[in-house]
Amino acid sequence: MGNNLKANSTTFSAKSPGRIKITEAVKELLGEKSYHEITWGEIAKKAEVSEALIYQHFKHKPGLLCGVLEDFMEAYVLELKQELKGVYGALNKLQRVIWAHIQSFNVNRVFAKILLLEIRGYPLFFDSGAYRIIQSYGDILLDIIKEGVYYGEISEDIPPKDIRQIVLGTIEHQCLPRVIFDIEFSTDNLTDMACQTIFNGIMIERGRA
């Protein structure tokens, strides 16, 4: 009983063929319509599994959204960590993270829309594994910023958490209208704009003296 929102039933291996088919189908459907309009029936048909199977993987409808998001973001954070491996310097890392974030929004608009707009309506999300991954992503960002402060790349006048807020806010601000109105954009260009804005505010201006 209770408000258990463990999206995935524990008895099922995370990557059974059925679950993958379902996740894929949900992703597709989220491109066509909003989460609320999607029915088990549609998913089942598109994934070519029974409705009951979906139910065994994602305990209820909120769990479905969270579960799919979780699968998606798990992969994202994993990839990000990989990419950061060969990068040195906090600002370099930061730029890489921003690029990856924007690129992810660009390529994966379905999830971008959900994350930017809809998620606020589903309080259960904030208990989900998906949310925990978001938090771990926030931790990565924060660590990079602290590293930058420590090595003198980033100003120590602004609290690191505020800087993180600036980074995320700027990214969202840049991506939001484009994602919503389905406007094409270049990840590189937007990354440049965002970095300019952000670094301008947080960098220690070395030349100044």
- Give the interface with a second copy as residue ranges (CB under 8 A): 33-34, 36-37, 116-117, 121, 172-173, 176-177, 180
The smaller minimum CB distance to a second copy, of residues 116 and 140, is found at 116
Question: Between the CA of residue 179 and those of 28, 107, 192, 193, what are the distances in Å?
Answer: 17, 10, 18, 16
| Residue 60 in the binding site for DNA (CB under 7 A) | yes
Q: Exactly one of 5, 7, 29, 53 binds DNA (CB under 7 A); which one?
A: 53
Tokens of 39: 């029915």
| Residue 3 in the binding site for DNA (CB under 7 A) | no
In the complex, what is the shortest distance from the CB of residue 32 to a second copy, in angstroms, rounded to a whole number?
A: 11
Q: Is the dihedral of CA 167, 173, 176, 178 positive or negative?
A: negative
Look at residue 151 and give the partner it binds from DNA, a second copy, none, a contact being a CB closer than 5 to 8 Å depending on partner kind: none
Do 66 and 129 touch, CB atoms closer than 8 A? yes
Size of the site for DNA (CB under 7 A): 22
DSSP 8-44: B-TTS-TT-HHHHHHHHHHHHHHHHS-GGG--HHHHH
In the complex, what is the shortest distance from the CB of residue 50 to a second copy, in angstroms, rounded to a whole number?
A: 8
The smaller minimum CB distance to DNA, of residues 52 and 183, is found at 52
Interface positions with DNA (CB under 7 A): 11-13, 16-19, 38-41, 48-53, 55-56, 59-61
